[in-house]
Structure 1
């Protein structure tokens, strides 16, 4: 986009009564952000759903002045801007009617990789939640997914730290301008996140981390990914809002179950109980339900690293059973090998990475 086009888009984004849905409607009718400001008001009022209150302030010079200031800021900083029709704009977010018309990015984000998962949860994460974050990332790491979260206390930072520890790309979706980090204590992760991932936001440099901004940014977390995972949540909270948004976007939602008496598992248990989310106890379940397949080159790479594939005692037990009995259901393998299902799920995923078993439709597996 040219400088005048960028400024016009910023100007449109800055008008209080014009949200992203209305802005897209105006742009579609007029052809471009610039054309919106060049068109006559009486023409714009003929657009379905557009009234005088919506267009109030459309030509107020303050919005142009502020847009020019923000453009100057963006030009000086190492921040990339994506218009919602640009190729670099997140593909899945393009399909969300209320996705932001402008998205700002800092770091080394590569969204061409389409295995994107958003992870949210309580700020009061327990040891159980932290342990699951580490287990999940360890299991899913061979598939090299992108992990999206909000860099908040609790589940957010736990999952993003685990992702960084395993060399995965992680994206922090912020509720303020990219000229700051909130909470400030997490500024220490800034360089590491930018080195392999980065930060995204729809908010200007003048925006502060206000409560309404966190609720607004949740639609980006839900919309940018293929699936949203909730790891620990109370009965109410922003994580459940994100899950509802993901469900509304027709994305898969997963929830990690907890004990019925645990306050911080109540939200997750309710999501599962009311069939708003898939029960998630291991990465293998997500891989299966999303239909993710390990690319052949990854299998070859894994095998090349291990000229002689070593199986631990549990893996050997499962492999021997599958060799003797052929294709088997996950539940049957767990029963016959006398192992809990969550243990079998994670073990089968590891064995799949080693190239010794393959998943089949209907939660079945067979030895190679």
Structure 2
């Protein structure tokens, strides 16, 4: 990380998407500041006034103050061009170029699962959260539970991770080293003591206006391989997090609730509308994320025996020539089968453990 990385963030007129655009054109922050105004305008399409702000290094005084703040408070500033930057977060289209981390930087690059939900959690939601986290902690080495340190399900997820002895990452909507809400300062301290991390995209000079929560939720989704919504009413930040996760092609899961419970209305609708996979146990989550097929499957579950397939099923399986998923439409074009025949064969392949259905009516060979 260089002072240019923070200065890019501090330059007026360069927002999140503007920084991403410039980095795509020039490769790194140093190259951006080394460019002339004409090069910035020609290569990145910047307006002349914005280009001049970069050329005149208007963001550097604030960047120097920010580096001093980070040193005083033990905060690591990590740029998207650094090897320590979380690889999953770097994949999203609106990634923050610089993130500020207190605690274990490596926790953000572990096997991350985000767990979010309503601020008005019920005993049912808290119990479901505890069981999911406890089950995952027993089965998944290197697990890291990501949430937003908010009231309700978020803080329940952090506490469950601490109880289970796994790392947890709190993404906060305020500059570090403080946390919001202040009532969860003790939980934040425990997160750091037990090898977790606090993370934000906001520098210490950010103006606090209460509008950073939705932007924070995209980072929760971006850090994680999958997102579990435990409880949510019909609207709320957790549904926005699920929407972000879906737009980033991450697996969205939801815990069902009673149809009469307001706190489960949002999760039930996600499941009904096929926006989320229904999960009841840690095993369900592991299967959805295909973590049972990870680098060391022996630590998770026994590998199933090679399935015995019919000639037609074997022929359909042969259409999967790579590890990339295929849609039902693509399989129909490749095989010439009608929808009914294709559906029957796909069910047979699923039962044999040869393919798995993914969101969007797609299938992946196992």
Q: Tell me which interval the TM-score lies in, with the shorter structure as reference length.
A: 0.7 to 0.9
Partner of 1:279: 278
The change in CA–CA distance for 1:50 and 1:260 in structure 2 (over 3 A counts) is farther
Please report how far the alpha carbon of residue 22 of structure 1 lies from its aligned counterpart in structure 2 after TM superposition: 2.0
User: Contact 1:182–1:209 (CA<8 Å) still a contact in 2?
Assistant: no
**2:108 and 2:144 in contact (8 A); partners too:** no
Q: Is the 8 A contact 2:161 2:167 kept in 1?
A: yes
Q: Number of residue pairs matched? A: 303
**Equivalent of 2:75, from 70, 75, 79?**
79
**Over aligned residues, Cα RMSD in angstroms?**
2.6
Is 1:270 aligned to residue 266 of structure 2? no
The whole-number CA distance in structure 2 between the counterparts of 1:83 and 1:280 is 35
> Structure 1 unaligned runs (5+)?
301-326, 328-358
Deviation of 1:47 (Å) = 3.1
Could you tell me which of 165, 177, 180 is aligned with 1:179? 177
Q: Cα–Cα, structure 1 residues 39 and 62, in superposed 2: closer, same or farther, change >3 Å?
A: closer
Asked if the contact 1:176/1:209 (under 8 Å) is kept, the reply is yes
Q: What residue in structure 2 maps to residue 288 of structure 1?
A: 287
3-state DSSP of counterpart to 2:263: helix
1:1-368 correspondence to structure 2 within 5 Å? 1=1, 6-47=2-43, 50-52=46-48, 55=51, 57-58=53-54, 63-111=59-107, 114-142=110-138, 143-144=140-141, 145-195=143-193, 196-207=195-206, 210-293=209-292, 295=296, 298=299, 361=353
SS at match of 1:181: coil
Q: CA deviation at 1:49?
A: 5.1
Distance 1:177 1:153 in 2: 18
Per-residue CA deviations over 1:59-92 (Å, capped at 9, x if unaligned) read 5665322111111111222111211011111011
TM-score, normalization: structure 1?
0.75
CA contact (8 A) 1:136 1:282 kept: yes
Give CA deviations for 1:337-364 in whole Å, capped at 9, x if unaligned: xxxxxxxxxxxxxxxxxxxxxx983799
**Cα distance in 2 for residues equivalent to 1:56 and 1:274:** 49
Residues 107 and 197, structure 2, Cα contact 8 Å, conserved in 1:
no
| CA apart distance, 1:185 | 1.0
Q: 1:42 to 1:112 in 2, by over 3 A?
A: closer
1:96–1:223 CA contact under 8 A, matched in 2: yes
Aligned CA distance change for structure 1 residues 53 and 243 (closer, same or farther; 3 Å): farther
Unaligned runs of 5+ in 2: 302-307, 309-350, 357-366
